[in-house]
Chains A and B, each alone.
Chain A
């Protein structure tokens, strides 16, 4: 069965950096795009970033553009989110999610599987 397991969350000071990981199993990781989605405490879902199956294209929400970098290592079945210049408003649970579209599909799909999330707290 599909499993997505996030790690790397924790407490970091404003201006600091953190790298999140998402270990994938149960499907051909190298054939699907992947997303990061976050949820601030008591708030709704916010899409953060998307990377195509082969890493060739990456897209970001305006709120994180220039500060966050999504990447993947298909040999390790792992998705990453490098977060720099962190702000208090980046405090959230961060989820990785699998895109439904297989392979070289232009459009973004729906999110058919989600990890359990990892909490990032930005505070001094």
Chain B
């Protein structure tokens, strides 16, 4: 079983700043089967990124994903007020486990 670790646990930033979220896997993630989801309070998760770097339909280009192997990054280039939320990475392909999440809150 691949275990995902996300850091930091909480990221406190101001609107307009750049956010860099990390997701590390305990083993190599094959074919970059890595997704990112955003979840706001009281809402269902929403797919942001799949295949480590492909944006889902309707996702603004300020969101970008990168990485391969065991190290992956979600970058939000300039935080908008609606981007303050919890972000989860997920490994798929052979299983479907999630990381513990990173909360991005307003500084």
Contact = CB atoms under 8 A, between A and B. Distances in A.
B98 A46 contact: yes
A58 B45 CA distance: 23
A110 B100 contact: no
Instruction: Give the interface size class of chain A.
Output: 20 to 34
Given A45-B37, A108-B92, A113-B47, 15 more contacts: A44-B100, A44-B101, A45-B39, A46-B98, A47-B95, A50-B96, A107-B33, A107-B92, A110-B35, A111-B35, A111-B37, A112-B47, A112-B50, A115-B44, A116-B43
Contacts, number: 57
B88 A44 contact: yes
21 contacts: A44-B98, A44-B99, A44-B101, A45-B39, A45-B88, A45-B90, A45-B101, A47-B98, A95-B45, A100-B50, A107-B92, A108-B93, A108-B94, A110-B33, A110-B35, A110-B92, A111-B45, A111-B47, A112-B47, A112-B56, A113-B47
B62 interface: no
Interface of A: 35, 37, 44-47, 50, 95, 100, 107-117
B50 A110 contact: yes
Nearest to A6: B44
Contacts of B43: 116
